Amino acid sequence: MNFGFLTRHILILCVLVLFESCTLVEKEYYPSGNIAYEYNIENGKKNGVALKYYESGELMQKSNWIEGEKVGKAFIYYKNGKKKYVAEFENSKQHGWTFCYDSLGNLRGKQEFVEGNLHGKFEEYYINGQISVKGKNNFKERTKVSYEYYENGDHKKYVFQRNDSLIYYKTYDSDGKIIDTYFTINMKEENNKICFILEKSIMPEDKLMVEVLIDKGDINSEKLSYRDAGSKVCIDTDKFKNKEKIKGYLCEILKDNLSSQGCNKFSFDLL
């Protein structure tokens, strides 16, 4: 933490055991003269409990240090003394669960960290304790999955991200009706076919079908609609001979009742 605007005062307590060692109690102050921060230094490294204060005197932060490394639980407080954040540290990196509270003391969220990185589960809560959002971060794969809920527990939104880019989302109204969708569509050639691939879906592969609707004029066929089970549908390459672009829609289909689960437009260059 940078407290360049603060004045400093150091007390040196020397203890002789077999050799001389010194504990420095360092205190930093606001320009008003009120204490801002205090911590111990042993053998040149921060050691023990470190405390930070609001200028009005209330405790703001509390952390534990061993030989210059932040370890164990660290706390941030509201001015009223209620906990705001509680985090676990190993070697000065967040590791384990971090909990977030409102000023009344209600738990409003929690998140897992691994070696300072967002990795693992997370949850957010309504004031009544009902889950509002839950999901999982994967630091190694750079992905984030989140499920958002209405206060009655019904689904509100599903989001999948990779490398901070949106790959898939679906939103529902309070009656469970799909009101908005977005998904990433890829195209590739394989075995003399052009395949349109849904990169990610909230639906399991065994319950999913995809349908491709090709714009008239972009295919050498009277047939414009193609459907197949799973997340991929392929069309003979000959049907796109001498075409420079393919435009159309790809739709998610629920296999059980063949109901549409949303469509997105696509456009791919062929030449």
3-state helix, strand, coil in the chain (%, to 5): 5, 65, 35
**For the domain 7-140, what is the CATH code?**
2.20.110.10
pLDDT at 85 over 70: yes
CA gap 22, 4 in Å, rounded: 25
Q: What is the pLDDT of residue 270?
A: 87
Short-list 210, 239, 241, 238, CA closest to 223: 239
Mean pLDDT over the full length of the chain: 91
Q: Strand pairing partners for 28?
A: 8, 37
pLDDT at 5 over 90: no
Query: Predicted confidence band at 229 (pLDDT cuts at 50, 70, 90)?
Result: very high
Q: What is the pLDDT of residue 4?
A: 43
Domain map (residue ranges) of the chain:
7-140, 185-269
Angle at the Cα of 125 from the Cα atoms of 138 and 139, rounded to 5 degrees: 10
Q: Strand pairing partners for 218?
A: none
Phi and psi at 169, nearest 5°, equal -150, 155
CA gap 190, 251 in Å, rounded: 21
Q: What Rg value do the Cα atoms of the chain yield, rounded? A: 29
Q: Mean pLDDT across the stretch 163-186?
A: 95
Residues of 91-112 as b/e, b for ≥16 C-beta within 10 angstroms? Answer: eeebbeebbbbeeeeeebbbbb
Q: Mean pLDDT across the stretch 109-135?
A: 97
Q: Mean pLDDT across the stretch 243-264?
A: 94
> What DSSP assignment string belongs to 40-76?
EEETTEEEEEEEEE-TTS-EEEEEEEETTEEEEEEEE
Q: Mean pLDDT across the stretch 90-102?
A: 97
Amino acid occupying residue 260:
S
Kindly list the distances between the CA atom of residue 107 and the CA atoms of 102, 123, 149, 248, in Å, as whole numbers in the listed order.
7, 10, 17, 47
Q: Considering only 17-26, 121-130, 196-205, which range has the smallest mean pLDDT?
A: 17-26
Name the CATH architecture for the domain at 185-269.
Answer: Sandwich (2.60)
Task: Tell me the pLDDT tens digit for each residue of 10-65.
Answer: 444 433 333 445 679 999 999 999 999 999 999 999 999 999 999 999 999 999 99
